[in-house]
Amino acid sequence: MTERVLILGATSAIATEVARRHLQRGDRLHLVARNAEKLARVAESLGSTSVTTQTADFAETSSSQSVIDEAIQTLGGLDVALIAHGDLGDQLASERSFNAAESSLRVNFVSVVALLVPLANYLERARRGRVGVITSVAGDRGRPRNYTYGAAKGALNIYLQGLRSRLFAAGVCVTTLKLGPVDTPMTRDHQKNALFASPESAARGIVHAMDARKSEAYVPSFWGAIMPIVRNTPERLFQLLPFLSGR
């Protein structure tokens, strides 16, 4: 069955691969992102007449309702929504400047909530649909290397727990997608190791989790075995282990 799919933050490498997988099964897509040129290139690369686009700056939270309204009107309804935008930011800058810290929290938490409010209200009225939100394994425990970003993602995880229970009675599924590191332009300055996933494998995990109507999913799935150890290590021991608590 053809579904109407909205992807917010559609120019990321992961979101582009998610869009590609939906197109392969005949879905209709509406892609929203800030950069019009990048968005046009993504739409062109997908090579389908089943794709429409819309530009929006998610930092302008006062416009979030109108962004969602326009997207739903363009699609003629909504079956699936994925919120994929975010920014790792600069941890050291966020420690030295509240403005930098606030910017990271706004991008990774506040702007997502601003989109979820109108999305949830629409789907609750429709009494159907699926929402996926990309968070991060960084939200499971604060670590010196990324705790401002992690705090935003951790707050988002809690918000999604409440939203999921609220929408359960309406038949709406909310999936928290806890991604590990992915080899994308956003992580170009990070030293890569075997734990880094490709955008293609991340997209495959995202689509599978949302299709299966999972409440939470680690992507790739092996993080589901790693993160309970990270999360439950006693703090004093955690602080003594450089591979966990180091920069």
pLDDT digits (tens, 9 = 90+) for 22-63: 999 999 999 999 999 999 999 999 988 889 999 999 999 999
Q: What is the reported pLDDT for 142?
A: 95
> Using an 8 Å Cβ cutoff, are 123 and 132 in contact?
no
More confident residue, 2 or 184: 2
Average pLDDT over residues 154-176: 98
Instruction: Report d(CA 42, CA 39) in Å as an integer.
Output: 5
Q: What is the mean pLDDT of residues 146-160?
A: 98
Query: In this structure, are residues 218 and 180 in contact, taking their beta carbons and an 8 Å threshold?
Result: yes
- pLDDT at position 192 is 63
**What is this structure's pTM?**
0.94
In which order are the strands placed within the sheet that holds 4-8? 51-55, 28-33, 4-8, 80-83, 130-136, 173-179, 216-219
- For residue 193, what pLDDT band results from cuts at 50, 70 and 90? low
The pLDDT score that the predictor gives to residue 21 is 96
Domains of the chain: 4-245 (3.40.50.720)
Q: How confident is the model over 66-119, as pLDDT tens digits?
A: 999 999 999 999 999 999 999 999 999 999 999 999 999 999 999 999 999 999
Question: Exposed, middle or buried by CB within 10 Å (0-12, 13-18, 19+), for 86?
Answer: buried
**CA 172, CA 191: separation in Å to the nearest integer?**
39
Question: How many whole angstroms separate alpha carbon 174 and alpha carbon 214?
Answer: 8
Dihedral (Cα; 113, 175, 9, 47), 10-degree rounding: -150
Return the pLDDT at 189: 64
First to last CA, the chain: 47
Q: Check: CB of residue 61 under 8 Å from CB of residue 110.
A: yes
Position 233 scores a pLDDT of 95
